[in-house]
Structures are given as C-alpha cells and as structure tokens.
Amino acid sequence: MHQLATFAESASRRATALTAVFFTLLLLAGELSAAVIITDVKGVARLRRPNTVSWNEVPVNYVVNNGDEVKTDRSSRVTMSFDDGSKIELAPNSSYLLETSRKAESMMTLSFGKLKAWVTKASSRRFAVRTPTAVCSVRGTEFDVNVNGDGSTNVNLLSGLLGVQDNKGNEILLKPGESVDVDLRGISKPEGGEKKQTNSGDAERREIKREVGLEMNKEQILAAAAEEVKQALYQLGKVMTDVNGNRVRIEEYILRPAANQFKFVVLNERPDRFDYFFRTGTFNTALPDDISTALRQLPGCIGTACTFWLTGYQTAWSNTQDAVVENVSGGHLVDVNNNGVAGDDVTRAFDPGQNDFFTLPAGTPFFTTLFDTYDLKFNNVTHTSWVSGVGAYNPGGCGGGVGAACGGIQSMGDINGVGDQRTVTNVVNVLKAPNCTNLDNCTGNRDPGKFHDIVYRQNALGTIWDKFDNYIIDDNGEVSSHTDFAGVTNGADYKKRLLDFNYQQIITASEFGGRKIDLVFEPKILMQSGLIP
C-alpha cells in the first residue's frame, strides 16, 4: 500500500509539473489568450473544435482553446485548470463551451448539466459562467451552477461573493451559504442555502413538453430545445443583425429523434419577438451514424437508386402565435428521366460522390423522391394541397408548395416539381407581372442586382393571400449583391461563398392579422449535415 501511495504521489507531482510546463510554453509563445488545460478526465468525455462537426475523445493535458465545446456522458467528469490557479469540474451529462479566456476575463457557457468552480482570490481576471437564463460573475470564490432541463439555473455559493444576473438585467450579490434560482421569468430571492419548496410553477415546468413542436409558448420551446439539444448531432449559434437592423440571436441544431428520422430546428430571439422553425423528416430506413450520408441523397441520385429517401416530412414556421405548417407523405423513388412523363426530366444535378453539379446527358437515370400528398396551411387554413393520382408530384415549384423557388430551404428535399397527375386544390396562386398592383405584392426580384426576392400568392378575389420576402444578408444585415457570387463555377466554391452570408425569410399572410413570422438561418449547419450538399 505504501508503494502504491508513493507511486500515486509521484504521478501527481509529474502531472502538476507537466501542467506548469504547458502554461509556461504558452506564455513564452506570447499567446494573447490565457491557458486552460484539461487536468483530469474520469470516464469518457468528448470535445469539438470550432467550425468542425466531429466530437473526439478528450485527453488529459489537452489545451482548451476559445470556442471549444466539451461534453460529458452520464459516467464522466472533467477538471479544467486555469493559469491563475482557478479550476472548474464538469459533472456528468453536462455541456460546456469556453467562449474566451484572456488575462482580464474568462467567459464560458454551461448549456446544460452542472459545474463547480473554484476561483482563486489571487485572480485579477473576471470569471463568468453564462447559462440559458443567468450570468454568474465572480472574483475569488467557490460555487456550483446547475442548469435544468427547462433551461432554469440553480446557483449555490460556498465561499466568497458571487454576482448573479438574469436575462432581464436584474442582478443580486450572493453571500456565502446562499442559493438562488433563475428562470425565464427572472431571478428569485436568495435563500440561506436551503432548497426551495416546489411550487405550482415548478410543477408546470416539469410538465413542459420535451420536443419542440407547435402550439407552444416561448418558455415551453426553450425548455424543449434544452432537452433536444442534448442529443444534437450538429449545433451552431451566433448573434447578428437582421435586414431590418435588429439584433437577433440564432440557435440551430440537428438531431435524430428516431432511428429513421432527422429534425432541424432554428430558434430566433430578438428583444421584442421570438420566432422558430423546425422540419422533421422520416426516411425509408434507419439512418447511418453519419446522417450526412443520407441527407446528401435528398435532392436525388444519378445513375442508381438512392439508398435513403424521405417517405414524409413536416415543416413549421411560427412566431408562437401564427404558424405555417407543411405536411407531406407517401414518398417513393422514381427515375424521373425515364418515367415517360413529359417535361419532368432533370438535366443538371448534384453528385455527392464528386461534390459538384453536373449536366446529365439525355436518358441518364435520375432517382428522386415523389410524394403522394401535400398540404400547406396558414393558421390552419389550407392555401395549397393535392393528392396524387397515378403519377406523383414533388413539391418545389411555386404552385406546389414552399420549396427552393418559393421561399423554403433549398436542398431540404424540395427540388423542381415533377409529374403532373394529381388532384390539386390551389386556394392561392402565384401572382406575377404584369398582373401585380404593386412591386411589394409581386413575385420576382424586388431589388435589381440584390438577393431580395418575393413570392406572392393570392386567390382570385385577393381575400386569401400569402407572401414570402426572401433575403441573403451578411452578419451586419446588408443584402448581398448578385456580384457577390460572380465567378462561382462549382459546388465547393458556392458553399465557401455562402458561409459569409445568411438567409432571412419574412412571412406574412391574410390569416396573420398584420403580424409576421421573421426567421434568419445560418447556412453553415446545413452544409455540415449534408442538407446543402
């Protein structure tokens, strides 16, 4: 036993010395950031670097960089040490992001789970932990932070002083032994270290749905998203300015809710509104571990039949009061270039194997998904629907749904309309020049030379209508010019150029009572996952 103890002490000294060497080398190299090192890992934890999609096992002595994300599973813990002697311990089932670590400040985010922090009193930097509902800011203290499934935060102060701020800007200073709860309603009164009694509001939050869906308020959506994001395969977020000059926080993630399903979720939060979007797609078979393999086949397959295709999907756009809902079913593969239906041939398509678009010689087999039923509703009022007959139809053209040309998300399985034998109920139809009364209610390019396009549809009397205002903008809200994509000759260049821009869609309709649904998407996650091939 004495030999084992001596060996353990020796190993500990060697690890401490090695950690000191890492810090010294980084400082001598003139790093602007302050070093953060993973000094202990129990079980298996994973780390993802910025702008990457893969999660890799995290080793001891790994230097954590700004933007790195660390996740623990139900049986793992991670200890991270800072160069001033401070440290944090990440508990099981937790998600941590190091936003920045500099001489003056260390800022980090705990998306869910629990961490315990020891901030040395000798530290001269501000040490802050951000959660979905709170910001904890300290100098020289010991505390723990727990983020619950609904995004609410519980903070316990063990020693020192701790400032806790909610999302409304309210802030209190905790004293040793005190604890406080913070949720979307704000910050509670501190209590003397005793656990708060459960009230009816807590019970309601526990009953909140764990899946982002329709007919939910903002609090329910954020709580459900906090649950879903734990299983996210891809996750991105940022703050930018939209086309109207408003600051918007974007959160996007993709998960697999079932073996044969994917779900893409976008949350937009502005100071005065909240909008969200989701699409859930169901495939013909179970998806592979790397779902991008299946998602890249959604636009279709050249030469041979696809292995994966959608049998149906649901799409929803909402501002929590109004909703646009698209339901599609009966998906099946068809070689549209050899099905005997005139006018539905695909002459140019993307080849995932070569990561580029190619012109297809006549008769080249091209398999794509056709659907038997389609329904598009605005606040439960049908604007477009159809049921297929012998032939099938794939929504995508402006007369058949919200696809690439009509303001939907390109490469989400909606390509050019094909087939024609169907029973259609078009309550509204696309309105184009010269039949438009004004340019704001006219389908086409709104600002010459700019990526601002409108799709406007109405019935014969103009009493039922819908409008999709579509923009491509940069992070400052400036609308992209057509010249920004000049000279792009292949898919790789197109995707690289697209990373500099965002897609904003503003939806209005006769059923919305003057309100709008306003959503900004960042395309990077669509490329990472294969939704943009």
The pLDDT score that the predictor gives to residue 362 is 85
Cα radius of gyration rounded to whole Å, the chain: 26
Among 332, 339, 119, 148, residue whose Cα is nearest residue 230? 148
* Side chain identity, residue 460: A
Helix (H, G, I), strand (E, B) or coil at 490: coil
Contact in structure between 329 and 518 (CB atoms under 8 Å): no
Cα–Cα–Cα angle for 467, 469, 475, rounded to 5 degrees: 155
Q: Which burial class, exposed, middle or buried, applies to 9 when counting CB atoms under 10 A from its CB (0-12, 13-18, 19+)?
A: exposed
What are the start-end ranges of the E strands in 25-103? 36-42, 45-48, 56-57, 69-72, 77-82, 87-90, 95-101
Cα–Cα–Cα angle for 371, 376, 382, rounded to 5 degrees: 125
Say which residues have a Cβ less than 8 Å from residue 265's Cβ, sequence separation at least 6: 212, 225, 228, 251, 252, 253, 254, 255, 276, 277, 278
The pLDDT score that the predictor gives to residue 481 is 92
Global pTM? 0.58
Among 366, 370, 421, 376, residue whose Cα is nearest residue 400? 376
Contact in structure between 453 and 490 (CB atoms under 8 Å): no
How many whole angstroms separate alpha carbon 164 and alpha carbon 111? 16
Among 53, 65, 60, residue whose Cα is nearest residue 101? 65
Cα–Cα–Cα angle for 500, 504, 509, rounded to 5 degrees: 170
Contact in structure between 510 and 461 (CB atoms under 8 Å): no
Residue 257: asked if its preceding bond is cis (omega within 30°), the reply is: no
The pLDDT score that the predictor gives to residue 405 is 31
Helix (H, G, I), strand (E, B) or coil at 24: helix
pLDDT by residue for the chain (533 residues), tens only, comes to: 333 333 333 333 433 333 343 333 333 333 345 578 898 898 888 999 888 878 888 888 888 888 899 999 888 899 998 877 788 999 999 999 998 887 767 889 999 999 998 887 655 567 889 998 888 887 567 888 988 877 889 888 887 788 888 888 888 888 888 888 998 888 888 887 544 434 434 443 433 446 888 888 888 898 888 888 888 888 888 899 999 999 999 999 988 989 999 899 999 999 899 999 999 999 999 988 888 888 888 888 888 999 999 999 999 999 999 999 999 999 999 998 888 877 778 888 767 666 666 788 888 999 988 888 889 999 999 999 888 653 444 443 333 333 333 333 322 333 333 344 555 667 899 999 898 888 899 999 999 999 999 999 999 899 999 999 999 999 999 999 988 877 766 666 666 777 788 999 999 999 999 999 999 998 888 777 766 65
In the CATH hierarchy, which fold is given to the domain comprising 33-201? Jelly Rolls (2.60.120)
Ordered by start, the domain boundaries in the chain are: 33-201, 283-314+322-529
